[in-house]
Amino acid sequence: MSAPLSGHHVAVLLGGLSSEREVSLVSGRECADALERLGAKVSRVDAGRDIAQVLTRLKPDVCFNALHGAWGEDGCVQGVLETLAIPYTHSGVLASALAMDKAKSKAVLAAAGVTVPGGGLFNRFVAAREHVIAPPYVVKPNAEGSSVGVFLVFEGANAPPQEIVAPGWTYGEEVMIEPYVAGKELAVGVMDGKAMTVTDIIPRTGFYDYDAKYGEGGSRHVVPAPIPQHVFEKAMKLAEAAHAALGCRGVTRSDLRYDDVNDILVLLEVNTQPGMTPTSLVPEQAAQQGVDFDRLVLWITEDAYARGGAGRPASES
């Protein structure tokens, strides 16, 4: 491949302040290496609270945002980049904030006709005292990613998970509680508004938690997913509709559950900055579509340029 980004200075934002810091470091390293292979001058920026000063000094042409989780993926860093008038990858301020807030994004998605699980937000101390909905159900933070702080409560459980009221709990005072949808864990990557394919995720532990997502051998990915054609097509349409409803841009990944016994498909959430690690789903789906990792990184970067233009703030779409 020639050097399509020759002469361009790209700041790769990685690490950050969230519970997903370690994953972001890997994503950022992989993307920075790809950008260097593409000919770009790359500055690796471990994003801290001095991010504005660092970027003002570096003066990059564009930022490749490889941060995951709170602060880097929820609209905060996006707002800084808008203020600095630096084009950046992935979704803008509003879409990022909406997608990170599970309760608000579910309301928007439901209004757009996307099938989402029931349930709602509950104070964590109330949720720890007694079952607020009948088991089986899922308890998770309202604004975290990568299945951090998620608990399954199965039928017959005597009490809710007490971890949510432990002194070390740092994920907010409210928790999202949803009915548990048995069956398959599916993922759909969306690139430029179009769904790529569907992955069937088979976790080693039976639950697609943080370790299953990012640990070596934590899960097996089957691409394309061996599911009925009508479900495959519906998953693709739901992911595209969710991407559009939240106002996302660039690349996103939607996570879904499919109850193959009762033929029920629900969309759990949209990730506005999907992982770009060796075990990540979106690069795997892109490769299945004939787009290798470097070309995927190139497209994401060029998409940011096209929207923002060097020296101009990227407008919300």
Q: Where are the alpha helices (DSSP H) in 14-166?
A: 21-37, 51-58, 76-84, 93-100, 102-111, 124-129
The label of the residue with tokens 């702080």 reads 149
Q: Which pLDDT value is given to residue 218?
A: 65
Enclosing H/E stretch for 38: none
Rounded Cα distance between 316 and 302, Å, is 17
CATH architecture of 9-90+291-308: 3-Layer(aba) Sandwich (3.40)
- Residue 305 contacts by C-beta under 8 Å, 6 or more apart in sequence? 61, 62, 87
Q: Which pLDDT value is given to residue 265?
A: 98
What are phi and psi for residue 298, nearest 5 degrees? -60, -45
Q: Which pLDDT value is given to residue 91?
A: 97
Tell me the pTM.
0.90
What are the pLDDT digits (tens) for 256-300? Answer: 999 999 999 999 999 999 999 877 999 999 999 999 999 999 999
Each domain of the chain, given as residue ranges in start order, spans 9-90+291-308, 98-116+181-272, 120-179
Dihedral of the alpha carbons of 265, 268, 272, 278, in degrees to the nearest 10: -80
What string of pLDDT tens digits covers the 317 residues of the chain? 568 999 999 999 999 998 889 999 999 999 999 999 999 999 999 999 999 999 999 999 999 999 999 899 999 999 999 999 999 999 999 999 999 999 999 999 999 999 999 999 999 999 999 999 999 999 999 987 656 789 999 999 999 999 999 999 988 999 999 999 999 999 999 999 999 999 999 987 655 444 544 455 567 999 999 999 999 999 999 999 999 999 999 999 999 999 999 999 999 999 999 999 877 999 999 999 999 999 999 999 999 988 874 333 333 43
CATH for 120-179 is 3.30.1490
88 DSSP 8-state letter: B
Active site residues: 20, 146, 214, 253, 255, 269, 271, 275
Rounded Cα distance between 129 and 115, Å, is 30
Reported as half-sphere exposure (CB side, CA atoms, 13 A), residue 95 has a value of 22
What are the pLDDT digits (tens) for 13-54? Answer: 999 998 889 999 999 999 999 999 999 999 999 999 999 999
Nearest to 103 by CA among 60, 154, 144, 155: 144
Q: Which pLDDT value is given to residue 17?
A: 92
Q: Which pLDDT value is given to residue 312?
A: 39
Rounded Cα distance between 230 and 235, Å, is 9
* Percent of the chain whose pLDDT exceeds 70: 91
Q: Which pLDDT value is given to residue 204?
A: 76
Domain 98-116+181-272 part of CATH 3.30.470.20 = yes
